[in-house]
Amino acid sequence: MFTPKYPPQDTAPIPTTTAPTSHVPALPPAPAAPVSNRPTVQLTPGSALTLAIGGGALVLVVGAVLVSLLLAVAITAVSVAVCAVVVRSIVKGDHR
């Protein structure tokens, strides 16, 4: 009942001959990629400074939002804990 049942072995004959190989001629070289007409972006010192300041401001804003969300969760957890203690004391005093 718990012994594995293996499928029967393959009875297909093993091919003994190989197909004749033929020489494949070399492929022609691939065409060159077309030249793009789009202008390349050149960063000047002023634009690099603007990007750095913008990135720093973005990091500060995202950090402030995340910290405020974490603070909101912590305040909610403390208020729920205080409510639980109050409800527990009311229920415990009601049994006496």
20-44 pLDDT tens trace: 666 667 778 878 777 778 887 788 8
pLDDT of residue 49: 93
Q: How far apart are CA 68 and CA 72, in angstroms?
A: 6
pLDDT of residue 40: 79
Q: What is the pLDDT of residue 56?
A: 96
* 77 is a domain residue: yes
Structure tokens at 42: 């050149």
Look at residue 71 and tell me if it is in a domain.
yes
Strand, coil or helix: 25: coil
Residue 8 lies in a domain: no
Whole domain around residue 85: which residue ranges?
A: 54-96
**How many domains in the chain?**
1
52 residue type, one letter: A
Model confidence over 71-95: pLDDT tens digits? 999 999 999 999 999 999 999 876 6
- Output the pLDDT for position 96: 60
Q: How far apart are CA 54 and CA 70, in angstroms?
A: 24
User: Is residue 42 included in any domain, yes or no?
Assistant: no
**Does 31 map to a domain?**
no
Report how far residue 39's alpha carbon sits from residue 48's, in angstroms, rounded to the nearest whole number: 18
Query: Which residues have a Cβ under 8 Å from the Cβ of 51 and sit 6 or more positions away?
Result: 43
